[in-house]
Amino acid sequence: MMPVAGRVAPSPPGLQHGQPGGGTTSAKGNPLILIVENDPEVPPGVLESLLVEADRKPRIVRPHGGDPAGSLAGVDGLVVLGGTMSTRDTRPFPFLRDVKRLMASALQAQIPLLGICLGGQLLAEVSGGEVTQSSHGEHGLHDIVLSAEGRSDPLFTGLPERFTVFQWHGDSFTPPRSAVLLAGSPACAHQAFRVGRTAYGLQFHPEVDPPIVSAWAAGSPSSSRILEAFAEYRRNGLDRAAHQLLKNFIRMIP
């Protein structure tokens, strides 16, 4: 997401970095999915309800508000959401260092991981890639195209080679050489990648719902156009592809 002028970063305590080795289904039965909300303006959207429908247990932590949570003990899946800050903004947002360490631990433990927008950029950095500021920005609805590897990847099972997603970013990532590029677009060549077996970074936002889009578009000169296009997108059922992607990731969580 683009930075919001005038925001003052909170000074929460750091996340308590857990030891690798999560991924064991909790004794309560339902798999536990840790959702890291980096910014109050970027909530989980439809992801939370999709997890509940799939008998997964979401646990949302909000380090932007001072949550100290961050251990992977008993965690079966990790989702790191977006934010209006940059991956480099560790001075005003010191918790980002702890989120990076948490993601690195999930990679080491091979816990299914999904990074969305800022979360995808953080994953790129953690795994050896790069993030370029104010580069290849996109806002509103745009098509992405799957690579040959993306067409056969389980994250995109049941999806067409080309489909429409909601974008809201200024920065963009370059995945590490070890990653598999899964999707791109004419405006932004790197839209999705995989590191290892089940760690995914996305540049776009499959989780958005009407309240989120309304809030983000409120400060845009193209607000009316963005909202009308998103409403038509939903009326035509085109958001099903984004939701299917999330469902595919959820199925990877045992």
Residues annotated catalytic, as ranges: 117, 205, 207
3-state per-residue secondary structure call for the chain: CCCCCCCCCCCCCCCCCCCCCCCCCCCCCCCEEEEECCCCCCCCCHHHHHHHHCCCEEEEECHHHCCCCCCCCCCCEEEECCCCCCCCCCCCCCHHHHHHHHHHHHHHHCCCEEEECHHHHHHHHHCCCEEECCCCCEEEEEEEEECHHHHCCHHHCCCCCEEEEEEEECCEEECCCCCEEEEECCCCCCCEEEECCCEEEECCCCCCCHHHHHHHHCCCCCHHHHHHHHHHHHHCCCCHHHHHHHHHHHHCCC
